């Protein structure tokens, strides 16, 4: 169980990465990670104290692979 939370992989996986495409008013990000490295869950955070929102794909219990913050 501890190895699972530490992102330890019991079987070798092929190399992977990601692709980013930027425009004047948008950003597209494709996660080309192997499916075994991704849990398919997202963290959506909208603070109620005037702070900025945040969205991020999560991995395991407490990790994020990447994220995007709301612009002020």
Q: What's the pLDDT tens digit per position in 21-66?
A: 888 888 887 767 666 666 777 888 999 998 999 988 777 666 776 7
Residue 56, pLDDT score:
83
Residue 46, pLDDT score:
93
Residue with the bigger pLDDT between 12 and 27: it is 27
What residues make up the domain containing 15? Answer: 2-69
Residue with the bigger pLDDT between 9 and 71: it is 71
Compute the Cα dihedral for 54, 59, 64, 68 and give only its sign: negative
Tell me phi and psi for residue 4, to 5 degrees: -65, -45
Residue that has been written with the tokens 């709301």 in this structure: 70
Residue with the bigger pLDDT between 14 and 1: it is 14
Look at residue 15 and tell me whether its pLDDT is greater than 80.
Answer: no
Distances from the Cα of 14 to the Cα of 11, 17, 35, 44, angstroms: 10, 10, 11, 30
Please enumerate, as own/partner, the contacts of 24-28 that have beta carbons within 8 Å and a separation of 24 or more: 27/68
Total of domains in the chain:
1
């Amino acid at each position: 169980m501890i190895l699972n939370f530490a992102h330890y992989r019991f079987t070798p996986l092929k190399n992977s990465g990601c692709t980013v495409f930027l425009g004047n008013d948008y950003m597209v990000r494709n996660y080309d990670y192997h499916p075994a490295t991704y849990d398919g869950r997202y963290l959506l955070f909208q603070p109620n104290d005037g702070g900025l929102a945040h969205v991020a794909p999560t991995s395991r219990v407490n990790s994020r692979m990447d994220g995007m913050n709301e612009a002020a």
